[in-house]
Amino acid sequence: MASTSNYVFPAEGLDYLLGIVPKGGTAPATLYLGLFTTSWATIQGYGIANTNITLNGGTYPVTELASATGYATRPSLAAATWGAATAGTTVIGANTINVRQSTYGSAITITNTSASAWTGINGMFIATSATVGQASGSGTTVLWYAPFSDGSTVTLAVNDSISITPTWQSAPYPA
C-alpha cells in the first residue's frame, strides 16, 4: 500500500533524533536544506517502506538535485534561527491533530546561477551535511523529506530563485 503522507521521517533520521533524545547525543547546531528531484508519488509508492528511503542511493532512493552553480552546497539552517514553538494543527489520516511547530525564521533562497535550467525539483529535505550529492550513510543523515506545500514541481530557469521556508511539527499522535 502506498503511503499518503506528505512527509517522511526516514529511519536514519528517526535514529538520529532518538540518539539525541533520549539517548543524550549532541544536538547539531546547524542542519542543511537540500532539494530532491524524485517525485513524491514515487516516494509514496514505496509504501510503509518509505521510512527506509535513503538519499542518493539504496533500495528506496531519493535523488538529490545535482550539484550546480548555485547549489554547490546545501544551505545551512542554524538551530538558533528556528522560531519559537507554537501551536498548530495537522491532519493525520482522518484526525486533525494539535501539534507544536517551529518555522525557520527566514526563507532559504536558492538561485540557479548555473548555465542551464534546473528541472523537476519536487521538494526539500533536511540533512546533517552540507555536501550536495553525498549519500545517506556516507556522511549525510536525512531527518525528513517533504514536498512543497502546494505539491508543485519546480523548474528554475537560469537566474531564477526558489525561496523555501521549512516548518517542523511534532505531533502527539494520536492526540
Partner 1 sequence: MAFTEVARLATTTARVAALSATNTYTLPSAPASGQWIVVALYTNQGIIPTGAITGANNLVTSVTCGSISLSVLEGSTNTSLQEPTVYAAPYASGMTTTLSVTWTNGIAATTLGVAVLIFSGASTTTGSMTFREGNGAFDGAGNTTFGATGAQGSSGVITWANSNNAIPTNYDSQQQPFIAAIVDTNVPTSTTLQLARSAGLFGVVSNSSGQLSQFGGTAGTLPISSGTSVYNPAGGTAYGVIYGTYGNFTFSYTGVSGNNLTGCVATGLGIFAQAPSYAPIMLAGTSAVTITAILNTNSPTTPNLNGFLTGSTSYTSGTASANGHVQIGMGGTGTVPARLHLIGGSNNAGYVKQTAYAVQRINGSVLTNGGGFIYTFAPATRTLTRTSTAVRTLISRVVKVREKIAVAVFVRTPYAVRQVASVRTAKAVLTRTSTALKAVATFRTSVANALRIPLVAKTRASQRVSAASQANVASVTRTRQSVRRANVSVTYTIASTKRRTFVRRAVATSVLIARSISKVLTISRAGTVTGDFKIAGGRAAFKTGQLEGTFDTANVVGSQKKTGQI
| Cα 74 from Cα 64, distance rounded (Å) | 10
Instruction: Answer left, alpha or beta for residue 46, where phi above 0 means left and psi between -120 and 50 means alpha.
Output: alpha
Q: Is 55 in the site for partner 1 (CB under 8 A)?
A: no
Mask: binding to partner 1, 131-150, rule CB under 8 A, as x and -? -------------xxxxxxx
**Would you call 62 exposed, middle or buried from its count of C-beta atoms within 10 A (0-12, 13-18, 19+)?**
buried
Could you tell me which of 9, 21, 7 has the C-alpha nearest to residue 141? Answer: 9
Q: Is 124 in the site for partner 1 (CB under 8 A)?
A: yes
Query: Which span sits near partner 1 by CB under 8 A: 41-49, 58-66, 75-83, 94-102?
Result: 94-102
Residue of 123, 127, 128, 130 interacting with partner 1 (CB under 8 A): 123
Residues that bind partner 1 (CB under 8 A): 6-9, 14, 17-18, 90, 92, 97, 99, 101, 107, 109, 123-124, 126, 144-150, 152, 154, 156-174
